[in-house]
Structure 1
Amino acid sequence: MIMLRHVILLLTVSLSLTFDSVVPAQVPMSKRIEHFDEYFGVRVHDPYRWLEDDVRESDDVAEWVKVENEYTQDFLKTIPERSEINARLTELWDYEKFGTPFKAGGRLYFYKNDGLQNQYVLYVQGPDDAEPRVLIDPNEWSQDGTVALGGTSYSDDGRYLAYGIQDAGSDWRTWKIMEIESGRVLNDELSWIKFNTPSWTPDGEGFFYGRFPPPEDGAEFQNLNVNQAIYYHRVGDSQDDDLLIFHRPDQPEWGYSTSVTEDGRYLIITVHVGTDDRYRIFYKDLSNPLAMAVPLIRNFDNEYSFIGNDGTTFYFKTDLDAPLGRVIAIDINEASRQIEGGGEEPEVQVREVIPEQAEAIRDVTLVANLFVVESLKDAKTQVDIHRKSGDKLRSVEFPAIGSAYGFSGKSSDTETYYSFSSFTFPPTIYKYDMITGVSEQIRQAKVDFNPEDYEVKQVFYESKDGTRVPMFISHKRGLKLDGENPTLLYGYGGFNIPLTPSFSISRLAWMEMGGVYAVANLRGGGEYGEEWHKAGTKLSKQNVFDDFISAAEWLIDQKYTKTKRLAIQGGSNGGLLVGACMTQRPELFGACLPAVGVMDMLRFHKFTAGRYWVDDYGSSDNEEEFHSLYAYSPYHNIKEGTCYPPTMVSTADTDDRVVPGHSFKFAAALQNAQACDNPILIRIETKAGHGAGKPTSKVIEEIADHWAFLVKTLNFQPELKSKSSE
C-alpha cells in the first residue's frame, strides 16, 4: 500500500507539476508502524508514534529530520524571490530597537538592539550616571546567538541582579547573580527552573524561587513538569543548601509563582494547576522566621492576581462575580478570623474597589499610589487611572488605535513608562507623569517605511452560529477589491490571550510586497473577558475553528482575495488552529503555515508543559472530552486521498513547550495522505525552541522562507524594494 502510494506520487509529480517543476522528484515517505491505542472502546491508529522520540536520543528521528529539512530546502532554493525577500527583511529589520524602560533599586533599565544584533542588550543608568552602560550583553555568550537572556529580578537595595540564561530556546533556565555596581558575576548557579521568576527579600540577602526536580537523563525536553517546590536561596550559598519553603507532594500538579510585597512584609504564593487564571493564594509573614504559609484563597474557582497591599489589606484583580474583571480588597486579619471559624472552604469576605466595567480588564498595577487599569475595547488598548478609593481619575490618551505595554513601578514612584504601537505605527516610548497625566515621547523607532502608504481598519463579521467577531485588516492604500490580492489570515484563539494591533517588521514586509494582512480575534482569546474565553475551550473548541473559517469566507466574499490567494498562519495554539481548519476545509485555503502546533490532541498532556493545557483543551482521559478532541485533532483527521493545500509546517528540535513530535507526526501523515501535487513541507529549526530567545538571524531566515513559500504557492508577483537589487 505504501509503496503503491509512493509510485503514484512519483508518477503524478513527473507528469503534471503545478509548481513549475520545483517539487523535488522524491517526496519523503515516513515509515509507519501498526500502533493502536484504545480510548473508551475506540481504537485509534498512531502509525507515526516513533516520531515522538527526542531527536537527540533517536538516530531514526535524527535521520528523518535531516531528510525532511533537505527536501524543504531543495524546494525553497528554487524560488528566485527568496534571496531578495531576505535582503529586504534584513534592511527593514536594521533599525535601533528599544524596550520599555523600567526602574528597579534606584536605577533605570532598558533593553536595546542596535539593529541586527541576535539578542537585545540590557542597559542600566544610575541617578548620577551621565550615560547608560551595558550591564548584560547576551551576544557575547554564543557565536550563533542561540543563548539568550531569559528573565531578570532586581534586589530592592540595588545590589544584585538575578538573571536567567536560556539555551537553544528551551524553557529551562539557569539562573545566575550579578553585582550590579561592579558587574561581577557571582558563583551562584541555580538549575531546573522554568515558568518562574525569583522574588528578592527586602534585605537583598536572597530570594524565593520555584524549581522542579531534576529530570531523568535524556528526558530533559520531554518529561512532564510536575512536583515544583518553592525554595529560598541565600546569596553565596550552593543550590544544594537552599531552604525548602513550600511544597505539596500530595499535589504534584500544583505550580507556583512568588512575589514579595513592596513593604517587604509578606511573601505571596500564587498556586495554579493549568493555564486558566484560577488561583489559590497563600501568604507568609516574613517578619516571623518561623511563620508558616497561610491559606487565603482555598479553591481554584476564580482568578486572584495580586496587585499590591496596604499593610494587611491585599488588593487583587479577580473575575469573582465579574467575568470582565474587577479590583477587590481583602483584609488578611479578617480573613484569618473567618477561616478559623469556618468550615473546610470558608468564603473570604471581599471589598470591591473598582467594579466591573464595560470592557475586559487585562492588568492592574499600583504606581504612585494609584491603580493603573489596562483593559481592551474591541481588542484595542484602553488605560484608566484610579485612586485607591476606586474612583476614576483620568484616562491615558493614545495617538492611534493600537496596543500599549508597560506602566510598571512602585507606589513611591511618580512616573512610569509605556510603549505604544500599531500595525502601521512604529514602536514609540513615552514617559508618563502619574501626577499630571502628561505623556512625554522619549523616542520612536525609525523604520524605513511611510505609514501614510498603508491603512488599517477593523471590521466585524458573523461566525457560523451568528457570533459577532472582530478582525483587523491592514494593507497598502488604494487596494482594489477584485479578489486577486494575496492575503495572510492570522489567528490564535485560546488561553485567554488577546491579539491586539502591534507593529511587526515581518507583517510590514508582507504588506510592502502587496499582501493583505488580517488578524481575527477569535473566541477562546481574551478580547472580551472570561465568557469569550470559555466559549472557545474544551467541548466548545470547535467555535474557534468556525470563527477562523468564517473570517476566511468573509475575506473571499468581500473580494479581498480568493481561495488560491488566501494563506492562513498561526503558532502554538494557533498552529493547532491552522491544522484543524485545513483538515476540516482543505478546499478553502491556498496555503497553510502551521508553526510549533499542538497537533495530537490525544497525547499532548503527556509531555513537558502539556498537562497545563487541559484547562483549555480538556483531556483524552475524560470520555466526553476524548470524543470532542478526537473529532478535531489535526493529526487524527488527516484523510488519505485528499488534496490538501500547500503547507509548510514549522517547528524546532529543542522546543520543550510543544514538543516537535506533534509537528513531525502531522507532517509525515500529511505527506502520506496527499492526493495532489501541492507541496507538503516541514521546516525544522536547529538549536531553537518554541520561539522565545530565537536570534535575529534565525528569525529573518524563517520569515524569508515563509514569504518565499507563499509567493510561490499563492502564485503572485511580489513588489520588492530591496536596495541591494537597485
Structure 2
Amino acid sequence: MAWQEGDKERIVYPGARRQEVVEELHGRPVADPYRWLESGEGAECAAWLAAQGDLLAAHESTWPQRAMFHRVVAELAGNGAVAVPAVTPPLWRAGRRFFLHRAADQELPVLMVSADGGPPRALVDPLEVDPSGRTTLDAWRPSWTGDLLTYQLSYQGDEHPTLWVMDVSSGQTVDGPLVPGRATPTAWLADDDGFYYVTLAQARAPGAAPRRAAGLYQIGSGVVAPKRQVRLHRIGQDPDEDAVVFETSSSQLSVKISPEGRWLMLSCAPGAQSGNTLWLAGVPAGREHLLWPRLLHDGRADGTQAVLTFGPGGRVYAITDAGAPFGRLCAVDLRDPRAAAWRTLIAQDPPAVLTGCVPLHTPATGSGPDPDPDSGSGSGEAYLLLSRSRHGVAELSLHDGEGHMITEVPAPGPGSVTKLTAPARGGEDAWFSYSDFVTAPAVYRFNLRDRRCRPAVPVLVDSASPGADPRQPPPLIRQVTYTSPDGTPVQMYLILPAQTRLPASGPPAYGPRPTLLTAYGGFGASCLPAYSPTILAWVRAGGTYAIANVRGGGEYGTSWHAAGRGANKPNAFADFVAAARWLIDHRWTTPRQLAIKGASHSGLMVAAALTQNPELFAAAACSAAVLDMVRYPSFGLGPWWVAEFGDPGEADQFDTLLGYSPYHRVRPGVAYPAVLLTSPHHDTRVDSMHTRKMTAALQHASTSGKPVLLRYEEGVGHGPRAASRWSALQADILAFCAAHTGLGCPGTPALP
C-alpha cells in the first residue's frame, strides 16, 4: 500500500465503508457510521484488516529506534514485571510451597512446588502443554493438605479456561475437565474431598440440568437465570452432578473458605470495585452441599466493600472501607458476625491506604521452633502485619492481636509492597513482593523473631536475569503536585534519565524533551512505583516518562475512586489533560514532543484526551480500550462495568457517556496527532470492535497528515501473553512514540 506522510499530502488509508446509521437515543440523534466493523469476521472486514497490516508494516520500517527498543525491552523484561512475573511469593500448604517462576529465557511463568525444603520442580508448564505459547495458566490453588491442585488453562487469550485437578506428588491429572466459563476461585474442603467454585449459570452443557441443593439461597428479585453460581464439586464426580449451593444475579462472585473448612465466605458485587454484599455460611461436615448464608455487610447503596480474612486458631478479621475510605481492620465475632458488631482493631490512617494484612503467631510456649510454616495451631501469641501505601510509598507495621502498634517495619525501599501472604494456619513468617521504578520485583520474607524484612533465599539458581546491567545508572525520580481545573491537587511521578541535572525546583536546565505521559484513573486501581521495562527503555533512550495519579484510581482511597467514577468520570480526563498542560507550561516538554499511551481503562484515558485536546499531543498509543461508550454494555464484559462508567440506557447517565465517548467525539476536519491503536483480534474482555471502529473514524477524520495505524494481533487476548509477544508490543509502542516526538532523532537536545 502506497502512502506518503507530510503536511500537505494525506496518507492513503484502507477504505472503510461508512454507513448512514443514525439512532435516536433519549431524544438525541447518534451517528454510528462504522457499526459494520463491530463484527470482526467476514470477507470485507478481513480485507480491511489485511490492508491495515500492510499500512502498519510500511510505517514500522521508518521508525528509527524500533530495533533498539525491541532489544532493550526484551532484555529488561528478563527481570520480570507485573505482566511477565519472574517469581511470586510462596503459597504454603503443609510443608509444600507453591509459586510461579519464569527464567529470563522462558516465555511464560511455570508453577513450581518445593516439598520439605527440597529442590523445586515444575508442576504446570504452559509451554509443555502448548509449545506455541498461546496457552496460559490463568489460576491455580492447592488443597489444604497440599496433595491436590486445581489449575486453569485458557487458549489464545480467550479467558474461558478449562479446570483440571492434579495429584501433586505424581503430577498426574486425577479429575477434570470442568468448564466454569471464566477463571474461578476454588475453595477446598478440609479433607481434599472436593471444592467450591464459581461458574457462569449458562456454562453447563446443553440439556444438563444441575441439581439444586435443599437450602439454596438465591439473591435478586425476579431473577430467572442467575449470572453466577457457586457449585460444590466432589473429586471424581461428573461436573453435571455438581450441586448449586448459592447463586446471584450479580456479575462478580467470589468464595473463600477457612483453613479448617468450617466457614465459607461469599462476596457479590454488580461490577469491579463496586459496593459488595458479604455473606458467611457454616459448612456442615458431611453435608457441605447445604449452605445457609448469613448477610454480614451490604455496601450496594453506599458503594462500600468488605472482605474476610481467616486467621489461625479460628480468628476472623474483616477489612472494609465502610466508614473508612482509606481502609480499616476489624475483629469478627462468629457468635454475631454482622458488620454492625465488628470491632475496629486498626483504624484508618489517612492519607495512607490499607493494602494488605496477614495474621501471624508465635509457637505455643515450650513447643520450640516450628519447622512447618503451615502447621501452626494458632495457640501461640497472635500478631498482625499490615501494609499501607502513603503517597505511593509502602509502609509495613506490626501490631499485636488486638491491633495495638508494636513497631514500624522498614520496607525494602520507597516502592510498592504487593502480594502480602502468610501460611493459612499461622506461623512466624510472611512473604511479599517488593518493587520500585528502578528495582526489579523481588520476594522478601518477614520474620517475627527479628522483625526485619530480608530477600527470600533464591528458589532457583537461574533466578538472576541478564536484563540487569550494572553499567546503567538508575533513572532519577521526582514526585510533583499539579492542580486540576476544579482546584483538586493531583500527584504525578516524573522518571528522568540518569544524566539529568535538576535544579532544586523546576524543569531541567537543558529545556523541553520528548515525554511519554500515562495514567490509569479507573476501577480504584492505583499506579504505584513498580519496575517497568517500558519505562526504563524510554528513559534510557533519553526521554522523560510521566505517570499521573488521576481521580478514579485508588491512590487516595475509595473517595478518590468515587471522584472519577460514573457521573464523575470526566474528572479523571480533566486531571489527565491538566497533567499534559502542566508538563508543557513548566517547560518539561512541548506539544510537538509529548506522547500519551495507555491500555484498557488507561487507553480510554488516552482516547478521551486525544479527542478533547488533540492540539496538545504529537502522538498517542491506545491499546485494547473501551471507546464506544454508547454500546459498550453489549460487548465483552461490558455489563460488568456499568457501576464504573454508568448505564447508557438511563437518560442522565447517557448524556455523560456520550459527552466523552471517544468514538463519538471524532470530528472530520480535525488535525489529530499520530495515533497507534492496538488490539487482539479476539478480546473477550474488551471487544476489539472498539479499536476497529475508532481506527476507521480517525482515519476518515484526521487532516494532520500524521498516520493513524492499527496493530492487530492473533492468538492473544486481553490478559497474560508470552514474554516475547508482550515485549514486542511494548517496543513497537515506544518506537512509534519516539518517531513522532523526536526521541533519539537528529535535532533532539543532547543530555549534558
TM-score (norm 2): 0.86
State the distance in 2 between where 1:98 and 1:335 align: 37
Structure 2, gaps ≥5 residues long:
81-85, 206-224, 362-381, 501-507, 747-752
Structure 1 pair 554/182, CA: closer, same or farther in 2 (3 Å)?
A: same
Q: Partner of 1:704 in structure 2?
A: 731
> Which amino acid in structure 2 is aligned with residue 188 of structure 1?
G
> Which amino acid in structure 2 is aligned with residue 261 of structure 1?
S
Q: Partner of 2:17 in structure 1?
A: 31
Matched, 1:203 2:188: no
- Shift in Å at residue 656 of structure 1? 0.8
Matched, 1:174 2:162: yes
Matched, 1:382 2:395: yes
Q: Say whether the 8 Å CA contact 2:538–2:734 is kept in structure 1.
A: yes
Q: Partner of 2:59 in structure 1?
A: 75
Q: Partner of 1:478 in structure 2?
A: 499
Q: Say whether the 8 Å CA contact 2:482–2:489 is kept in structure 1.
A: yes
Mean alpha-carbon deviation: is it higher for 516-525 or for 102-111?
A: 102-111
- Shift in Å at residue 36 of structure 1? 2.1
SS at match of 1:247: strand
Structure 1 pair 703/18, CA: closer, same or farther in 2 (3 Å)?
A: farther
Structure 1 pair 26/707, CA: closer, same or farther in 2 (3 Å)?
A: same
Instruction: Find the partner of 2:404 among 391, 398, 401.
Output: 391
Mean alpha-carbon deviation: is it higher for 94-103 or for 577-586?
A: 94-103
State the distance in 2 between where 1:655 and 1:364 align: 34
1:26-65 per-position Cα deviation (integer Å, ceiling 9, x unaligned)? 3123111122222210110111112112x3x433333332
Q: Say whether the 8 Å CA contact 1:379–1:521 is kept in structure 2.
A: no
- Shift in Å at residue 95 of structure 1? 5.1
- Shift in Å at residue 253 of structure 1? 3.3
- Shift in Å at residue 328 of structure 1? 2.0
- Shift in Å at residue 498 of structure 1? 0.5
Q: Say whether the 8 Å CA contact 1:454–1:475 is kept in structure 2.
A: yes
- Shift in Å at residue 502 of structure 1? 0.4
State the distance in 1 between where 2:143 and 2:244 align: 21
Instruction: Find the partner of 1:260 among 252, 257, 260.
Output: 257
Q: Partner of 2:503 in structure 1?
A: none
Structure 1 pair 26/561, CA: closer, same or farther in 2 (3 Å)?
A: same
Instruction: Find the partner of 1:141 among 100, 113, 129.
Output: 129
SS at match of 2:421: coil
Structure 1 pair 494/522, CA: closer, same or farther in 2 (3 Å)?
A: same
State the distance in 1 between where 2:717 and 2:17 align: 26
> Which amino acid in structure 2 is aligned with residue 402 of structure 1?
G
1:335-383 per-position Cα deviation (integer Å, ceiling 9, x unaligned)? 58xxxxxxxxxx8332222112122212333233432322211122222
State the distance in 1 between where 2:316 and 2:131 align: 47
Q: Say whether the 8 Å CA contact 1:484–1:562 is kept in structure 2.
A: yes
Instruction: Find the partner of 1:183 among 165, 171, 187.
Output: 171
1:121-153 per-position Cα deviation (integer Å, ceiling 9, x unaligned)? 122111152x11111111112232111111111
Structure 1 pair 118/18, CA: closer, same or farther in 2 (3 Å)?
A: farther
- Shift in Å at residue 311 of structure 1? 7.5
Structure 1, gaps ≥5 residues long:
1-8, 218-224, 337-346, 720-726
Structure 1 pair 32/202, CA: closer, same or farther in 2 (3 Å)?
A: same
Structure 1 pair 570/255, CA: closer, same or farther in 2 (3 Å)?
A: same
> Which amino acid in structure 2 is aligned with residue 641 of structure 1?
G
Q: Say whether the 8 Å CA contact 1:121–1:137 is kept in structure 2.
A: yes
1:610-632 per-position Cα deviation (integer Å, ceiling 9, x unaligned)? 11211111111111111111111
Q: Partner of 1:373 in structure 2?
A: 386
State the distance in 2 between where 1:297 and 1:429 align: 34
Q: Partner of 2:635 in structure 1?
A: 607
State the distance in 2 between where 1:647 and 1:95 align: 30
> Which amino acid in structure 2 is aligned with residue 245 of structure 1?
V
SS at match of 2:692: helix
Structure 1 pair 550/489, CA: closer, same or farther in 2 (3 Å)?
A: same
Q: Partner of 1:723 in structure 2?
A: none
Q: Say whether the 8 Å CA contact 2:250–2:268 is kept in structure 1.
A: no
- Shift in Å at residue 309 of structure 1? 5.3
SS at match of 1:659: coil
Structure 1 pair 565/120, CA: closer, same or farther in 2 (3 Å)?
A: same
State the distance in 2 between where 1:391 and 1:48 align: 60
State the distance in 2 between where 1:426 and 1:307 align: 29
- Shift in Å at residue 706 of structure 1? 1.1
Matched, 1:363 2:347: no
State the distance in 2 between where 1:355 and 1:675 align: 56
Q: Say whether the 8 Å CA contact 1:34–1:46 is kept in structure 2.
A: yes
1:135-175 per-position Cα deviation (integer Å, ceiling 9, x unaligned)? 11111122321111111111001110100102112222111
> Which amino acid in structure 2 is aligned with residue 478 of structure 1?
Q
Matched, 1:462 2:483: yes
State the distance in 1 between where 2:196 and 2:52 align: 44
1:278-331 per-position Cα deviation (integer Å, ceiling 9, x unaligned)? 211222211252442233334524211112257786421111111211112333
- Shift in Å at residue 554 of structure 1? 1.3
Matched, 1:596 2:624: yes
Mean alpha-carbon deviation: is it higher for 460-469 or for 184-193?
A: 184-193
1:563-614 per-position Cα deviation (integer Å, ceiling 9, x unaligned)? 1111111111111100000100000011101111110111111223211211
Q: Partner of 1:118 in structure 2?
A: 107
Structure 1 pair 385/29, CA: closer, same or farther in 2 (3 Å)?
A: farther
Q: Partner of 1:46 in structure 2?
A: 32
> Which amino acid in structure 1 is aligned with residue 409 of structure 2?
V
**Where do residues 202-601 of structure 1 align in structure 2 (5 Å cutoff)?**
202-214=190-202, 227-248=227-248, 252-288=249-285, 289=287, 290-298=290-298, 300=300, 301=302, 302-308=304-310, 314-334=316-336, 348-358=340-350, 359-368=352-361, 369-409=382-422, 410-442=424-456, 446=465, 447-450=468-471, 452-479=473-500, 480-601=508-629
Q: Say whether the 8 Å CA contact 1:116–1:696 is kept in structure 2.
A: no
State the distance in 2 between where 1:90 and 1:689 align: 20
Percent identity, aligned pairs only, is: 29
Q: Say whether the 8 Å CA contact 2:79–2:441 is kept in structure 1.
A: no
SS at match of 2:637: helix
1:206-256 per-position Cα deviation (integer Å, ceiling 9, x unaligned)? 110011134699xxxxxxx961111011111221121111124xxx33431
State the distance in 2 between where 1:165 and 1:482 align: 51
Q: Partner of 1:100 in structure 2?
A: 89
State the distance in 2 between where 1:650 and 1:263 align: 47
Structure 1 pair 69/481, CA: closer, same or farther in 2 (3 Å)?
A: farther
Structure 1 pair 211/546, CA: closer, same or farther in 2 (3 Å)?
A: same
> Which amino acid in structure 2 is aligned with residue 498 of structure 1?
S
State the distance in 2 between where 1:46 and 1:614 align: 21
State the distance in 1 between where 2:660 and 2:491 align: 24
> Which amino acid in structure 2 is aligned with residue 285 of structure 1?
G
SS at match of 2:157: coil
Mean alpha-carbon deviation: is it higher for 511-520 or for 206-215?
A: 206-215
Structure 1 pair 310/187, CA: closer, same or farther in 2 (3 Å)?
A: closer
Q: Say whether the 8 Å CA contact 1:493–1:573 is kept in structure 2.
A: yes
State the distance in 2 between where 1:711 and 1:297 align: 50
State the distance in 2 between where 1:361 and 1:109 align: 26
Q: Partner of 1:66 in structure 2?
A: 50
- Shift in Å at residue 462 of structure 1? 1.0
Q: Say whether the 8 Å CA contact 2:312–2:425 is kept in structure 1.
A: no
Q: Say whether the 8 Å CA contact 2:312–2:426 is kept in structure 1.
A: no
State the distance in 1 between where 2:79 and 2:308 align: 37
Structure 1 pair 310/484, CA: closer, same or farther in 2 (3 Å)?
A: closer
SS at match of 2:201: coil
> Which amino acid in structure 2 is aligned with residue 351 of structure 1?
R
SS at match of 1:188: strand
